[in-house]
Structure 1
Amino acid sequence: MPAKKRDPGPSVKDAEVYEALRDDGASKEKAARIANAAAAQGRSKVGRRGGGAEDYEDRTVDELRKRAAELDIEGRSTMTKSELIDALRNH
């Protein structure tokens, strides 16, 4: 039996990219953000972006908490470095 497709809703502009990202484990928010950017600017342009940030493991706990605050991740003030990294990767 074929897998049932998820309906990403009307706010997602490129459902194919959204589904591929979700299948790869991206959060709904991240998949929607990338899919909408791909629809607005073209898939190849969005695909060339990125890769400029340093690894989370190379950042300090304060830097990770600052990034978590930007993304409004709850409980960040009591998280360890590994918990912060996991939360940032999976938000």
Structure 2
Amino acid sequence: MSADKRPQIKNEEQYEALKEQGYSKEKAARIANTPDHVAGKKGGAAPPYEEWTREELYEKAREIGLSGISKLRKNELIERLRNH
């Protein structure tokens, strides 16, 4: 697909490289669209997922649209959130 059909992709070369590595379209686009001044910085002030309750993790997963999560354990929710 050409760049003119995907104007939301800011770094097309990086996007294509990530797709070749097996990243999903969504995740590759997020990474390729990250501004240079933000890239490589650690996350915000939120505590690590390991400190969240299972219910908090579940709500976060629902908020970002993950499906098939209702019966997942805490560690499984953490994995899905980190790898979506």
Residues 1:69 and 2:62 aligned together: yes
Q: What are the Cα deviations for residues 28-81 of structure 1, in whole angstroms up to 9, with x where unaligned?
A: 31231232232xxxx1x2226542232111111011011101111111211111
Give the alignment's TM-score, normalised by structure 1: 0.65
Moved more, 49-58 or 25-34: 25-34
Quick one: which of 22, 27, 30 aligns to 1:33? 30
**Identity percentage of aligned residues:** 48
**Number of residues of Structure 1 aligned to a counterpart in Structure 2:** 79
TM-score by length of 2: 0.69
Match of 1:85 among 60, 74, 78: 78
CA contact (8 A) 1:18 1:35 kept: yes
Structure 1 runs (4+) deviating above 4 angstroms are 19-23
Structure 2 unpaired stretches of 5+: none
Q: Are the aligned partners of 1:26 and 1:90 in contact in 2 as well (CA < 8 Å)? A: no
Structure richer in helix, relative to its length: 1
